[in-house]
Amino acid sequence: MEISVTVNGVTHTGDVEPRTLLVQYIREHVGLTGTNIGCDTSSCGACSVHLNGEAVKSCTVLAVQADGQQITTIEGLAADDGTLHPMQQAFMENHGLQCGYCTPGMVMAATSLLKENPNPSEHDVRIGLEGNLCRCTGYHNIVQSVLAAATK
Amino acid sequence: MTMTDQPRTVLGTRLLRKEDPALLTGEAKFTGDIAVPGALHLAVLRSPYANATINSVDVSAALAHPGVRAAYSGADLVDLWAAPMPCAWPVTDDMKSPTHYPIAVSKAAYAGDGVACVIAETAAIAKDAIELIRVDYTRHEAVIGLEDALSDRVVVHDEIGTNRSYTWDLKIEEHEGDIDAAFAAAAHTTKERFVHQRLIPSAMEPRSVLAMPQPFGGDMTVYSATQIPHILKIFVAVVLGIPEQQLRVIAPSVGGGFGSKLDVYAEEFLCTALARKHGVPVRWTEERSEASMATIQGRAQIQDIELAADEAGRLTAIRVRLLADMGAYLQLVTPGVPLLGAFLYAGVYELPKAYDFSCTGVFTSMTPTDAYRGAGRPEATYAIERSMDSLAAQMGIDPLELRRRNFIPTASYPYEAFSGLTYDSGDHDAAATMASEMIDYAGLRARQAEQNVEGATKRLGIGVSTYFEMCGLAPSRVLASLNYGAGGWEAATVRVLPTNKVQVVTGTSPHGQGHETSWSMIAAEKLGVDPSDVDVLHSDTALAPYGLDTYGSRSLPVGGVAIANACDGVIEKARQIAAHQLEASADDLEFSDGVFRVAGSPDKEMPLAAVAWEAFTAHNLPDGMEPNLEHHTHYDPPNFSWPFGTHMCAVEVDTETGEIEVLKYVAIDDCGVQVNPLIVEGQVHGGVIQGLAQVLYEGAVYDGDGNLRTSTLAEYLVPAAPDVPPITTGHTVTPSPTNQLGVKGVGEAGTIGAAPAVMNAIVDALSGLGVHDITMPASPHTVWNAIQQAQGGSQ
């Protein structure tokens, strides 16, 4: 099927197999590999991207469902001059990442969380990131990162 | 002069990580991210049965599938293997190890064992095609229970005729019979059994391999999501019979390991062998369900531990009997994991030479086990720390007080332990006191007395654990005495480039630990340059040909010290050049802040930058000196390092539902001198949550047929943010006297300290109800049942 998807402001048009997942489309067709795959049950959230501004797990969306939609991936978050997005900056300043594999999904989920709730409590942040797993940080510094970003 | 004596400007600062921008923007490349046109994709057909004879494998339908390049049974591939897959730690001379090929030939020994494989144009085609392979199996009964396995009622591997792989003993007595005498004379004894369930390491990045034949001469480059590119290179050479000099192994960004990537795996050999056979790149990325079944699992031990103590509760003897589940095969260091714990069953306590440890490794019909964060040491610490609480309860004294009575006194360090190992430094009272104050131990005990009254349904519990980490793996001669197949040294090269930028080459291989940052800090401190002017080359055997990689909290106390030593070598060479140029005696030159100064003549100085340029031009070097400013060194540590600490945890248990709420967690860790406290805290946070998760959530569940019932993250409970508490960290600093940085390492400390602290808190909350122990993981159902049983009710 031919689909047309705008990823980080650039529109890509091409054929995909109907069974192609959005995450496969982003990684293999568009060639943006910052979005990671950590499981096959929509449990880990490593593949989180924004679909029309809202965080989704791109392994639970078919590429064809994104036809005509706007996608933002981790590569589209920093400013054109390379300045990190405040959430990326907050993760760096608060050591909110170690191996970095869950990080793109975690950052995308966190930015979406702050859009919905600009002044979250620690509890709100933990609940809001429930769908994103991290094995390195124990979440402590991820939560601190998101709380710090909320004050910027 | 050691660095611990000097004023420091870089070490000890919370420098933000160099690694982060690439990881935060998606620029970092993990193995699966590397685009290679024309690469074929491997898929492995895995046995659905835990114990089955392979009668025949028919790959013809897969071969006929469009887009498939080749399909193979195990028998088809046997000629590709120059040797079977390795176990590098034959712990005893008579240890039994079944032949283990990357694809099973005649028998599937666990559910998930590879029985056939396909390479195809896309991953999807390869996965479609393995479904077309027909395997005729004869099923046999699976062996799941460890004691059942030991009985040899059903034998996993006919070729070795028994499920007993080895029995390894460590018996230490000053005089024969001391142990029995100590137990006979003891005022108090305890006898406990603890079961460590199987854990699935669950690094967030699944394993991934990409083998790329190089254009000329048969060279091969292998990318792998591994912790051990150097060790992998050796074993790819051995198993495939490839000359080692033709191999290059690269671990690009690696998404966590926790021991699960401290291994050499079937798919690494398969991709390389098939890339070589077909002359094309071959790649494979694991699915999560494969990660659960075909990547190693951890823990899986049954411990029987007995303590003997005198009237005051001071330990007089310890006896440990261990059954360790090897799984179906011995992976890289599977049999050695319990040995790493064998020296820690006395914790941080004084023990006379009265110690009797025996471990038997048994084969079962389950996924092979191997090192998982802590590897033997969390298990040992759990056993002694849970037992100390039992002893305290029996004596009717406070568990913290019992520990204080047994602590190795600070003045005794360096302390020669019962085992003959020397503990480098420690101050257990200080760590315990800091933890008590930070969690308000006295206040919690007072609140507990008020809260846990008859009929109370929300019960407060306070858990204490004190620990040694025993890391810095390891002195090569000690490893030799344990039959380990390699050394424990680490390599480093430091070069000051002509423009005064610095390259550090390390044999460590980070996967989240921030080595680029920390190693830059060490070189910057030593050489007086800015950390941003240092680049760290690692995880590529062409750039860093020597190394023993990253595991066992070894990277800083071995690899980091090697870098400091290499910097010293650079400084000494530079000193000779500067002396020559300044027409001064080298002995009169002082080096600080990156400048050589002649003592007593402050105007005569030469910065390292100028020396580096002189070393490069070689116009005016001392007679006989070689050009350039570089030093290469290998460091074999004289001892393990001994980080220690005290963790405390407060929980509230709802006796009506069995639910546990962690109210507060305090971790005091002493890892010696800290290079970067930001990174240290991160290591502790993550480690604590992994230890806590063993107690509260995680456990691989197998049914009686050997099917893994928890093969996805929907079934295996890796905790998410709402499931875990914030962690309060603190630290004391007791430098290690055995290395110039005074460092000890910190990667596993959190995990080692956490599990007993959490379980002790839960049992403490329920002790008034007669609960003595709870099986891990302590799910609400399990806790509720334990309460009902203790109360004499039905389940």
Q: In whole angstroms, what is the distance from residue B425 CA to residue B644 CA? A: 9
Q: In whole angstroms, what is the distance from residue B311 CA to residue B294 CA? A: 50
pLDDT confidence of residue B3: 55
Q: In whole angstroms, what is the distance from residue B597 CA to residue B324 CA? A: 60
What is the dihedral sign for C-alpha B228, B233, B236, B237?
negative
The pLDDT tens digits of the residues spanning B520-574 come to: 999 999 999 999 999 999 999 999 999 999 999 999 999 999 999 999 999 999 9
End residue of a domain, out of A75, A102, A126: A75
* Domain-located, residue A41: yes
Secondary structure element (H or E) that encloses residue B764, with its range: helix B749-766
pLDDT confidence of residue B258: 98
The pLDDT tens digits of the residues spanning B289-333 come to: 999 999 999 999 999 999 999 999 999 999 999 999 999 999 999
Q: In whole angstroms, what is the distance from residue B668 CA to residue B430 CA? A: 10
Residue A28: CATH number of its domain: 3.10.20.30
Number of domains in chain A: 2
Whether B458 has a pLDDT exceeding 50, the answer reads yes
Whether B216 has a pLDDT exceeding 90, the answer reads no
Cis ω before B414 (30° cut-off from 0): yes
Q: Are residues A125 and A61 in the same domain?
A: no
DSSP class per residue in B29-95: -BGGG---TT-EEEEEEE-SSSSEEEEEEE-HHHHHSTTEEEEEEHHHHGGG-SSPPP-S---STT-
Q: Are residues A23 and A63 in the same domain?
A: yes
B717 touches chain A (CB under 8 A): no
End residue of a domain, out of A24, A45, A75: A75
Give the pLDDT band (50/70/90) at residue B380. Answer: very high
Cβ-based neighbour number of residue A30 at 10 Å? 19
Q: Are residues A6 and A27 in the same domain?
A: yes
What SS3 state is found at B714? coil
Task: State the residue range of the domain holding A144.
Answer: 86-150
Share of chain B above pLDDT 90, in %: 97
Of A37, A125, A135, the CB nearest to B256: A135
Identify the residue with better confidence: B8 or B720. B720
Q: Are residues A53 and A114 in the same domain?
A: no
The average pLDDT across B33-57 equals: 98
Give the pLDDT band (50/70/90) at residue B106. Answer: very high
End residue of a domain, out of A75, A99, A131: A75
Nearest to B502 by CA among B527, B478, B477, B482: B527
Nearest to B76 by CA among B132, B124, B119: B119
pLDDT confidence of residue B795: 47
* Domain-located, residue A80: no
Q: Are residues A69 and A90 in the same domain?
A: no
Identify the residue with better confidence: B627 or B5. B627
Beta strands in A34-147 (DSSP E): 48-51, 54-57, 70-72
Whether B453 has a pLDDT exceeding 80, the answer reads yes
Q: Are residues A42 and A92 in the same domain?
A: no
Nearest to B759 by CA among B377, B324, B390, B339: B390
pLDDT confidence of residue B7: 63
When the pLDDT of each residue in chain B is averaged and rounded to a whole number, the result is 97
Whether B2 has a pLDDT exceeding 60, the answer reads no
Residues in chain B within 8 Å Cβ distance of A97:
20, 23-24
CA A87 to chain centre: 12
Q: Are residues A71 and A35 in the same domain?
A: yes
* Domain-located, residue A81: no
B714 touches chain A (CB under 8 A): yes
Q: Are residues A65 and A105 in the same domain?
A: no
Contact check, Cβ <8 Å, B25/A84: yes
Q: Are residues A111 and A55 in the same domain?
A: no
Residue A105: CATH number of its domain: 1.10.150.120
Angstrom distances, CA of residue B502 to CA of B3, B20, B533, B550, B616: 20, 20, 6, 22, 13
**Which range among A1-10, B7-16, B96-105, B183-192 shows the weakest confidence by mean pLDDT?**
B7-16
pLDDT confidence of residue B4: 53
Whether B8 has a pLDDT exceeding 90, the answer reads no
Q: Are residues A58 and A123 in the same domain?
A: no
Cβ-based neighbour number of residue B705 at 10 Å? 15
Measure the CA angle with vertex B482, ends B413 and B510; round to 5°.
75
pLDDT confidence of residue A152: 87
pLDDT confidence of residue B244: 97
Q: Are B70 and B118 contacting, i.e. CB atoms less than 8 angstroms apart? A: yes
pLDDT confidence of residue B1: 39
Residue in chain B nearest A31 by alpha carbon: B35
Of B28, B30, B204, the CB nearest to A134: B204
Whether B501 has a pLDDT exceeding 60, the answer reads yes
Contact check, Cβ <8 Å, A38/B724: no
Q: Are residues A68 and A91 in the same domain?
A: no
* Domain-located, residue A39: yes
Give B471 to chain A, closest Cα distance, Å: 19
> Which residue bears the tokens 């197998």?
B702
The average pLDDT across B157-165 equals: 97
pLDDT confidence of residue B217: 86
Tell me which of A8, A91, A124, A139 to substitute to probe the interface with B (most B C-beta atoms closer than 10 Å). A139
B144 touches chain A (CB under 8 A): no
The average pLDDT across B647-654 equals: 98
Q: Are residues A104 and A67 in the same domain?
A: no
Contact check, Cβ <8 Å, A95/B681: yes
